[in-house]
Amino acid sequence: MPEVARFLGIVITLYLELEEPHHLPHFHARYGEYQATFSISPISQLTGALPRRQLRLVEAWAELHQAELLDNWQRAQSGRPTLRIRGIA
């Protein structure tokens, strides 16, 4: 699962869906033992849970980097390497 960003203890990943593709562009966010999945367009939590502060950080970050996330989603689905996206300092 390619890591595309890491900031403030949050790890953002995307991956190729070989067996049963969702066909919905999305990314995964991990923070400690918490995990959540978010759609890219619109930015929306699909599954899982994050603490409130981290949830808001991920949503704000994703809004700022929505085009890069979508580009990386397309790269991952076509088997090309993903690119790093700048996190929040």
Please spell the DSSP secondary structure of 61-73, one letter per residue: HHHHTHHHHHHHH
Whole-structure pTM value: 0.91
Q: Of 11, 14, 76, 20, give the one whose Cα is nearest residue 39.
A: 14
List of the chain residues with pLDDT < 50: none
What is the predicted pLDDT for the residue at 2? 86
Rounded to whole angstroms, the Cα distance separating 26 from 73 reads 7
Q: Are strands 10-13 and 34-39 parallel, antiparallel or unpaired?
A: unpaired
**What was the pLDDT predicted at 8?**
96
Secondary structure letter of residue 8 according to DSSP: T
Classify 53 in phi/psi space as left (phi over 0), alpha (psi -120 to 50) or beta: alpha
